[in-house]
Amino acid sequence: MFELVQLTQNCYFIQSPARIGLVCLRDCPDEVVLIDSGSDRDAGKKVKRILDSRGWKLKAIYNTHSHADHIGGNRYLQEQTGCAVYAPGMERDFTLHPLLEPAFLYGGFPPGDLRHKFLMAQESRAEALTEQVLPPDLEPVPLPGHSFDMTGFRAGDVVYLADCLSSEATLEKYGISFLVDVEAYLDTLSHVMEMQAEMFVPSHAEPVKDIRPLAKRNMDRVWEIAGIMEEMAREPLTEETMLQRLFARYNLKMNAEQHALVGSTVRSYLAWELGRGRMERYFENNLCLFRTV
C-alpha cells in the first residue's frame, strides 16, 4: 500500500485505499501535482515521503470531490509544503466546511457517530477549480452523480476517473453504490463508455485499458436497483421500509454509517423515480408514502 506506480513518462498513481493520481509537470520536471490526497493525516505523511524520496516539489492538489477518503491528506500536505488546493464547484464548500458532509447525509445536524474522519475530513484551504488554475498537463473531465460536482482529470493518454465506477468486488460486497444524482450518474457512465484513452484509473477499481465493461456493469446495477425499488413499491411504502428491504435484498448490515450512506442514496433514487414519473409520493396518516405508478 502507498506504492508509486508509473503509467507513462509523467503520469503515476499512488496505490492506496482511494488511488491518488500524480502528474509530473512537463515544464518543471521536479514539480508535481496530486489528484486527491488520501484519507487522513497519516496518508498525507506517506505521500510526502514518496515525494521527498524522488526530490519532487508538490505544487498543487486537485481534488476530484469532497469525500473524506479523497481530501483527508489535504491539510497535512498543505501545512508541510505550502501547496495550493483546488476543488470543483460545490465540492469546494464541503472541503472548506467538512461538517457539511455528514450533515448532508443525515439531513440535519449529524450525531456523534457520524462525525468521524471517514465522513468528515479536516478542513483545508481550498480554492475554486477553474481552467485558469490548471497546468497545461491536465484537462478537467466532469463526472457528476456520485457527488455533486465530481471532476476527473485527463493527463495525456491517462484519465483519472475518481469514484464514478465501483469495482466488481465492491458491487458484490456493498450492492448499492453511493449516489447523489442518479440521472447525472447514468449520463456520466454513458460519457465514460465513449472515452478514448490508453489507461483509465478509477479510484476504487483496478486501472484498465478498456473501461467500457466496468462502466456497463455499474450502469446495469443502477437499473437493477431501480427495478427492485419499483417492484417493492407496488404496495405503498415508507422510505425506511424500503431501505430495510433493500438491506435485506443485498445482504447488508445496518449501522449508523450505512444508514446514512445508503439512506441518502435511496432518497436520491426516489427523487429520480419521482422526476421521471415512475413513482408518486403522497401523505397518509402522517406518513410519507411512495408508490409505483
Q: What is the pLDDT of residues 27-69, one digit of tens each?
A: 898 999 999 999 999 999 999 999 999 999 999 999 999 999 9
pLDDT of residue 104: 98
pLDDT (mean) for 146-167:
98
Statement: residue 1 has pLDDT above 90 = no
pLDDT of residue 29: 83
Residue with cell string 457517530: 113
pLDDT of residue 89: 98
pLDDT (mean) for 87-92:
98
CA 80 to chain centre: 26
pLDDT (mean) for 263-280:
98
Please, which pLDDT band fits residue 263 given cuts at 50, 70 and 90? very high
pLDDT of residue 25: 96
∠ CA 269-271-276, rounded to 5° = 95
pLDDT of residue 168: 97
Output the 3-class SS for 144-204.
CCCCCCCEEEEECCEEEEECCCCCHHHHHHHCCCCCCCHHHHHHHHHHHHHCCCCEEEECC
- pTM score, two decimals? 0.97
Domains and CATH numbers, the chain: 3-163 (3.60.15.10), 228-292 (1.10.10)
pLDDT of residue 144: 98
CA 206 to chain centre: 15
Name the CA dihedral angle for 222, 246, 254, 239, rounded to a multiple of 10 degrees. 100
pLDDT of residue 249: 97
User: Per residue in 195-232, pLDDT tens?
Assistant: 999 999 999 999 999 999 999 999 999 999 999 999 99
Other C-beta atoms lying within 10 Å of the C-beta of residue 238: 12
